């Protein structure tokens, strides 16, 4: 009897844990789908003016149109495109008529064009505001002397170019340039929560079946 109670306890706790993980992934799936819907809505919205005091939660992915002066100084962020082409994202300061300085992600250039001269001056840009979350423990430190960043480190880029910690990613621009815009999309946002939920619930079913089997094997045998 003690063995049956032990097996029942272990089986019940394991089943509860696996079902709980499955339910958690379903909740995460609902959250991620709502997030993706919000992002898609903001990306598809008609461009508005640049907010006076942008806030990350409210304005992330917001479509805006900004006119200003593009400065020639730029930073280069190492990048690999979805077509597996290696090169750099070009980040430059954009100065508005009101004197605001923000970071402009102009797009992608191949590695061979990293140090090519690029036109600056007056420009009108349509794009989306972004607060990148690309820096983690594995990100190499920026090579400031070689002007190579390994992630869009918003704080460091703003400090280096003396701008607001605000990034505008170009969707299209009036500037004539060979830089290829890399617009913000939802393509890189993973949503594997359904697969995870199915996995946990499947393990729960297997665990329940194994528990029943072991309980059946451990049941007292009748004599006679």
- Percent of the chain scored above 90 by pLDDT? 52
Give yes or no for residue 125 having a pLDDT over 90. yes
Q: Are 13 and 79 members of one domain?
A: no
Q: Are 154 and 68 members of one domain?
A: yes
pLDDT of residue 82: 82
pLDDT of residue 147: 95
Q: Are 30 and 73 members of one domain?
A: no
pLDDT of residue 219: 64
pLDDT tens-digit map of 195-220: 899 999 899 889 888 887 777 766 66
CB atoms within 10 A of CB 123: 21
pLDDT of residue 64: 94
pLDDT of residue 94: 96
Determine, yes or no, domain membership for 148. yes
The β-bridge partners of 153 are none
Q: Are 82 and 158 members of one domain?
A: yes
pLDDT of residue 69: 95
Determine, yes or no, domain membership for 129. yes
Please give the full DSSP string across 163-218, using - where no structure is assigned: --S-EEEEEEESS--S-B-----STTS---HHHHHHHHHHHHHHHHHHHHHHHHHH
Q: Are 66 and 168 members of one domain?
A: yes
The Cα–Cα gap between 70 and 163 comes to 12
Residue where the block lists tokens 């930073």: 75
Q: Are 30 and 120 members of one domain?
A: no
Average of pLDDT values for 188-198? 85
Give yes or no for residue 223 having a pLDDT over 80. no
- Percent of the chain scored above 70 by pLDDT? 92
Q: How far apart are the first and last CA of the chain?
A: 20
Determine, yes or no, domain membership for 105. yes
Give yes or no for residue 157 having a pLDDT over 60. yes
Determine, yes or no, domain membership for 72. yes
Determine, yes or no, domain membership for 47. no
Average of pLDDT values for 160-178? 91
Report the predicted TM-score, pTM, of the whole model to 2 decimal places.
0.77
Determine, yes or no, domain membership for 182. no
Q: Are 165 and 198 members of one domain?
A: no
* Assigned token pair, 33: 């789908």
Determine, yes or no, domain membership for 196. yes
Q: Are 70 and 97 members of one domain?
A: yes
Q: Are 111 and 195 members of one domain?
A: no
Determine, yes or no, domain membership for 54. no
Number of structural domains in the chain: 2
Q: Are 66 and 158 members of one domain?
A: yes
Q: Are 97 and 155 members of one domain?
A: yes
Of residues 216 and 193, which shows the higher confidence score?
193
Highest-confidence range of 12-21, 52-61, 173-182, by mean pLDDT?
52-61
Q: Are 199 and 122 members of one domain?
A: no
Q: What domain range includes position 205?
A: 2-38+191-218
- Please provide the size of the chain in residues: 224
């Amino acid at each position: 009897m003690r063995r049956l109670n032990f097996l029942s306890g272990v089986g019940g706790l394991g089943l509860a844990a696996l079902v709980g993980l499955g339910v958690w992934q379903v909740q995460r799936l609902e959250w991620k789908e709502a997030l993706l819907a919000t992002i898609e809505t903001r990306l598809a919205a008609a461009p508005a003016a640049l907010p006076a005091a942008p806030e990350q939660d409210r304005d992330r992915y917001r479509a805006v149109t900004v006119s200003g002066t593009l400065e020639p100084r730029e930073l280069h962020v190492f990048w690999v495109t979805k077509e597996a082409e290696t090169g750099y994202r070009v980040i430059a300061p954009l100065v508005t008529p009101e004197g605001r300085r923000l970071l402009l992600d102009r797009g992608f250039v191949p590695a061979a064009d990293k140090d090519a001269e690029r036109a600056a001056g007056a420009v009108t840009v349509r794009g989306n505001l972004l607060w990148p979350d690309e820096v983690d423990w594995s990100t190499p430190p920026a090579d400031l002397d070689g002007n190579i960043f390994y992630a869009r480190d918003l704080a460091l880029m703003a400090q280096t170019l003396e701008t607001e910690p605000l990034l505008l990613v170009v969707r299209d621009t009036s500037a004539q340039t060979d830089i290829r815009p890399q617009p913000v999309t939802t393509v890189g946002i993973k949503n594997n929560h359904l697969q995870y939920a199915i996995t946990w619930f499947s393990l729960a079913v297997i665990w329940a079946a194994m528990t029943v089997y072991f309980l059946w094997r451990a049941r007292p045998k009748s004599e006679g």
